[in-house]
Amino acid sequence: MFVALLVGIASSALAADPPVSPAGRWKLETVVLKSGKEHHGLVQARREREIDFAEIVQRPGKPTFAIIRGIDAAQVAKTELLPPAEHAELVRKFHEYRHKAPIEAGRMEEVKLAPWEADGHAYLSYQGSWFTLLSTADDESTRRCVVRMEQIFRAYRTLLPPRQKEKQQEQKELTIFLYSSLDEYRQRLRALDLNLNAPAIYSARQHQILAGGELAHYAKRLAEVRQEAADLVKQYDKLDKDFATSLARLSDDLRAKGLSKDEITQELQLRKTDWKNERAAVMARMAEQDRRNLARFGEVTREMFARLYHEAFHAYLDGYVYPQGSHHVPAWLHEGLAQVFEGGQLEGDSLRIDAPDRERLKLLLADLNSNDPLPLARLLVAEERTFAGDHGGRASERHYLYAWGLSYYLVTEKNLLGSQALDEFVSPQSAALAPAARLEKLVRQPLDKFEAQWREKLQKLATPGK
């Protein structure tokens, strides 16, 4: 983030949702066996002799996976079901998990894009509840980016429900500019007199996020691959027709050679099976190519989306949760939470932050274990300019790492995300306190004791199995 933070983007369309686990894990149902073993997941159906159960596993930092199993009702000691509303929500999440690709494709088709001219560029424009997106990328890449950004805003809403329900008159909507190449993106930055290397930036003055990635190159290569695939399908369609003709000729040839009707049928069936298998193998390779193309999109946009999520969190926090006009979020907390959310695992509309970013943790521990670690007291008094610019420089990098480590601890260990205690911490009354006293009030501990516990916990997080 640079300059100052965006003040206020709110929408009456957003209603506060109840917060979930601070780690973003799903609330699950439990089946306890008479042996004492427990299965956690979703009870899909209960029959007289069997429970149809989807065991859902969410290991810290790992993708969700599920095992569908039938549990013998005679072996069940008890079942712990969620209330109807929470059960319905779990059903929805599990459905989206199982049908992630088609659901995303369906959402992409629903995105309404319109042409838009601005700043000498031709854009595709999308206007949603949380943001307007202007993109110079191709139609498909733009739609995919819109869906991802909508997902991350829904995930933010779930983990940290909105506090602001009414949009104030002076507030402006957030606009995201998405450029299809890094050259185009950097050219735009130069036009704004900005010399930054980050793949996305957030301008408070203009209430905009600017981002860029090599989407044009990806789209060109994707179009070439798809054309090759389409040509191959046409080729095999023609070969199908030719094959039917050749089978008829083969049948006549075999009959002329004196083979019986059964022998001819058997030979023709073998030829058909071989051809069917060959075609199926080619189609399977094409399907695999499509999967690789989607993975390639992830590779091309990974850094861009990570930074987009980071900057979008700043806008979300200011617009929907704690506007600067009525709240005071310290710079370290703003940047720390943005990094925590940036590094989360997005699964559908859910964001899991149940494992620390391993690289950040490694770098932070190296600094903490050095001869001159940064005391938390110094982090707490750091001003916004310490974090401003391109996240460069030794001092800035250190403050970012410590802000991430402290925020991650407050979210996952102290369970403060979305709490009344955090609301009070960012209130004007709390802001009147000295920074150290303010944090002590939040955590209800003297700073020295809290800092010792914080450092100890970080060391444990780096230990395998912790």
Range among 104-113, 217-226, 374-383 with highest mean pLDDT value = 374-383
Strand partners, 458: none
User: What is the rounded CA–CA span in Å between residue 68 and residue 181?
Assistant: 43
Q: For residues 296 and 333, which has the higher predicted lDDT (pLDDT)? A: 333
Note the pLDDT tens digit of each residue in 52-61.
Answer: 888 888 877 6
Note the pLDDT tens digit of each residue in 118-161.
Answer: 878 899 999 998 899 999 998 988 998 899 899 898 888 878 88
> Which residue pairs, CB below 8 angstroms and at least 24 apart, start in 411-419?
411/22, 411/337, 411/340, 411/353, 412/22, 412/23, 412/353, 412/354, 413/457, 414/443, 415/22, 416/22, 416/442, 417/19, 417/22, 417/159, 417/160, 418/19, 418/22, 418/159, 418/160, 418/161
Q: How many helices (H) and strands (E) does the chain have?
A: 15, 13
Report domain extents, the chain.
Answer: 28-81, 223-298
What does the pLDDT average to over 280-294?
A: 74
Q: What type of residue sits at position 403?
A: A
Look at residue 298 in the predicted model and tell me its pLDDT.
65
Q: For residues 182 and 402, which has the higher predicted lDDT (pLDDT)? A: 402
Q: Which of these ranges, 199-203, 242-246, 308-312, 367-371, has the smallest mean pLDDT? A: 242-246
User: What is the rounded CA–CA span in Å between residue 339 and residue 41?
Assistant: 30
Look at residue 219 in the predicted model and tell me its pLDDT.
63
Which residues of 175-293 form beta strands (DSSP E)? Answer: 175-179, 200-203, 208-212
What does the pLDDT average to over 309-338?
A: 91
CA max distance for the chain: 103
Q: Which of these ranges, 5-14, 318-327, 422-431, has the smallest mean pLDDT? A: 5-14
User: What is the rounded CA–CA span in Å between residue 279 and residue 287?
Assistant: 12
307 pLDDT band, cuts 50/70/90, is confident
Note the pLDDT tens digit of each residue in 246-286.
Answer: 877 888 888 888 888 888 888 888 888 887 888 788 777 77
Look at residue 63 in the predicted model and tell me its pLDDT.
75
| pTM metric for this prediction | 0.69
User: What is the rounded CA–CA span in Å between residue 315 and residue 84?
Assistant: 34
Note the pLDDT tens digit of each residue in 174-191.
Answer: 999 999 888 888 888 888
Look at residue 9 in the predicted model and tell me its pLDDT.
27
Which residues does 161 contact at the CB level (< 8 Å), separation at least 6? 16, 17, 18, 19, 418
Closest-CA residue to 212 (of 243, 244, 186): 186
Annotation: CATH topology of 28-81: SH3 type barrels. (2.30.30)
